[in-house]
Structure 1
Amino acid sequence: MSKDLFDNVEIVARALQGQERLSVLPELFGRHMMRFEALVYGWAGRLAANYDDGYWEMYRLSNGGFYMAPSSNDTYRVTVDGNLFSGELTADAMGIVVTLFALNQLAWDLQSADVSELYHHLRDYAAGHSEAVMIYRAID
């Protein structure tokens, strides 16, 4: 749980199951859903040296946001060459980072205000995450 940066409202993440899990990507990304999912996995492979595929959880945020994270108790060594970041992140925090990278790339590629809004909702959620400092360093 975290607080929205501007409204001081608690933002809650809820893991998706069943039909919600199946429908979230088409709902949020429409015909670009496969591209978004591939971007998430691609960024994970580029940024986390010890990432080796696996099952991913999907989360909806109470502020309208969304993210994906590996279903793992592992920590990941995340390196972002563009901003000289290198650090250990939990699977949840790594998922937030790679989802932010994927949302940013897709928003720019599509010039989509809706995808940009998802980015900002997730960034607001990340501000209250227990690893917020590391997440923000990774995406800065």
Structure 2
Amino acid sequence: MQSKSQRITAKIVPESQRMNVADTHFGIRYPLVVEPMVYQFATQLAPAYKGGYWEFHTLSNGGFLMTPTLDDVFKITADNGYEGTMSAEALGITACLYAYSNLSFGECAFGETCAEHYHWLYEFAMRHSESMAIRGAID
């Protein structure tokens, strides 16, 4: 675990390692539960989002992140009343945070895994250039 003063970095997972990395972080529940829920939240938050290829990232603090490979800026409307805009990368961060939070209330070991991933990604997100928009959408 890194100290609070260290920069958290995201590293793109090579295509050939995507499923191994996802399996390492979430096991069989990745393709069955995690991935579809991230896509669902992206669509819910940004109605103009119509799908696309997503990159996988590992975080230097132990976390995992998915981001769409789009150059678009999306209008975001969150259930908490937040409205604003986000890059595709910030949308991916936000959708992952929503999914991890939602899944953290599930079964014991898997719920704990998702809670850990939420906290690791939150730590990364609060240092992101769009942290105010991300925080607005999740709080």
Normalised by the length of structure 1, the TM-score is: 0.91
The CA deviation at 1:113 is: 1.5
**Is structure 2 residue 15 aligned with structure 1 residue 15?**
no
Q: Is the 8 A contact 2:2 2:61 kept in 1?
A: no
Matches within 5 A, 1:8-87: 8-34=5-31, 35-81=33-79, 83-87=80-84
The CA deviation at 1:18 is: 2.5
Using the aligned pairs only, state the percent identity: 36
Q: Is the 8 A contact 1:40 1:102 kept in 2?
A: yes
Q: Is the 8 A contact 1:104 1:116 kept in 2?
A: yes
Distance 2:107 2:28 in 1: 12
Q: 1:109 aligns with which of 98, 106, 111?
A: 106
1:97 corresponds in structure 2 to 94
Q: Is the 8 A contact 1:5 1:124 kept in 2?
A: no
Instruction: List runs of 5+ in structure 1 lacking aligned partners.
Output: none
Aligned length: 136
Q: Which protein is richer in strand relative to its size?
A: 1
Aligned partner letter, 2:8: I
The CA deviation at 1:87 is: 0.8
The CA deviation at 1:6 is: 5.9
Q: Which segments of structure 1 move beyond 3 Å, counting only runs of 4 or more?
A: none
Instruction: List runs of 5+ in structure 2 lacking aligned partners.
Output: none
The 1:5–1:64 alpha-carbon spacing in structure 2 relative to 1, beyond 3 Å, is closer
RMSD of the alignment, in Å?
1.6
Aligned partner letter, 1:63: N
Structure number with greater CO (CA < 8 Å, separation at least 6) is 1
What per-residue deviation string (whole Å, max 9, x for no partner) do you get for residues 35-63 of structure 1?
10000011111111110011001111000
